[in-house]
Amino acid sequence: MTSLLREHAEQQFAEELAQLARVDDRMRPPNWRLSPWAVETYLLGGTLGNGILITPKYIGSRRLIQVAIATLATDRALLLLGVPGTAKTWVAEHLAAAISGISTLLIQGTAGTAEEAIRYGWNYAQLLAVGPSRAALVASPLVRAMEEGKIARVEELTRIPADVQDALITILSEKSLPIPELNQEVQATKGFNLIATANNRDRGVNELSSALKRRFNTVILPLPATLDEEVEIVLKRVESLGRALELPAEPPALSEVRRIVTIFRELRNGVTADGRAKLKSPSGTLSTAEAISVVVNGLAMAAHFGDGQLRAADVASSLVGAVIKDPVQDQTVWQEYLETVVKERDGWLDIYRAGREITA
């Protein structure tokens, strides 16, 4: 077993990618490791002709994934947009791994991201010794992707200051990057493209300029459409994380995961599952990613401070922490939900008592 806490997609699923490459006889765009059909199969799962099972990496709309893959086969960049926890980063990583065989040509967007992170920087020791030269230039992940014909990734694009974002315009429209200090340019090799992600519910984001928006094809990743779909996502990710973290706890019961996901969905949607009662929604997003975190944290509590089986008391603290982001507004929302919904449900008395104990 690997000692890495989290392997990159191309490491973790190397065997599946190799199996797909062996049977993939369809047309591949220039410099792609797999055909669009094989990339789709890798993302959504399936069974190959030789009986090999490809596990699904994304559970959701097939059409959205097809649009995303088709976009990357054109000269348009791909923008994955959605609320937190809709697997934007996850999908971007797996698309890059399947298409280019490498998912680490990554720029992490923050309020402090400088233009050099997108374009290039300089090795100042070399610069002082020999002056401006290609040897002194430090290529960004984006420049490396251009030179090698790979997929680059930009996380949280709208976190990057607007003037720095606009450094992408020439790259995406002209497929080249001028280096005026050397009177040279970097021209993109076939296979190059960009996947960016953006969170449409963050506060204080930097809107994309119209010029930059035109260079992207936007795919909006929605929250899971049904309870069963969200439960399946949570179970798969919890299994994977539990294995990586080597948590000595039993796998969570389906009924317990369904209960946690039900709480998240009801509070997120502002209505009970049967549609009979309207609810106040908390200030947080209550995303699928947070539901996964609640279950994993509960498994850690059960493993190290319980009997190894996930119970209401094990998930209560992290569940309440996920709901209550604003200590005044969200506290009221949670208390009302406990008293009007959880308390009245058959078989939910344990989660009611655990929730009351945490917030008492």
- Which of 169, 168, 229, 222 minimizes the C-alpha distance to 200? 222
Q: Which residue has the tokens 């020439």?
A: 170
> What pLDDT score was predicted for residue 243?
86
Q: What is the pLDDT of residues 104-122, one digit of tens each?
A: 999 999 989 999 999 999 9
Token pair in block for residue 178: 């001028």
Domain limits, the chain: 61-220, 227-359
Of the candidates 205, 254, 216, 210, the one whose C-alpha atom is nearest the C-alpha of residue 234 is 254
What are residue 53's DSSP bridge partners?
47
Burial class (CB in 10 A: 0-12, 13-18, 19+), 127: middle
User: Is 3.30.413.10 the CATH classification of the domain at 61-220?
Assistant: no
Q: 2 pLDDT exceeds 80?
A: no
pLDDT tens column, 244-276: 888 888 899 999 999 999 999 999 999 999 999
Nearest by Cα to 170 from 162, 159, 178? 178
Q: Where are the alpha helices (DSSP H) in 203-253?
A: 210-213, 227-245
Q: Which residues contact 334 (CB under 8 A, 6 or more apart)?
A: 282, 320, 323, 324, 355, 359
- pLDDT reported for residue 245: 87
If we measure between CA atoms, which residue out of 29, 45, 156 comes closest to residue 100?
29
One-letter amino acid for residue 161 of the chain: P
**Which tens digit of pLDDT belongs to each residue from 160-190?**
999 999 999 999 999 999 999 999 999 999 9
What pLDDT shows up at residue 37? 96
Q: What is the pTM of this model?
A: 0.90
Residue 155 pairs in a beta bridge with: 108
Amino acid symbol at 99: I
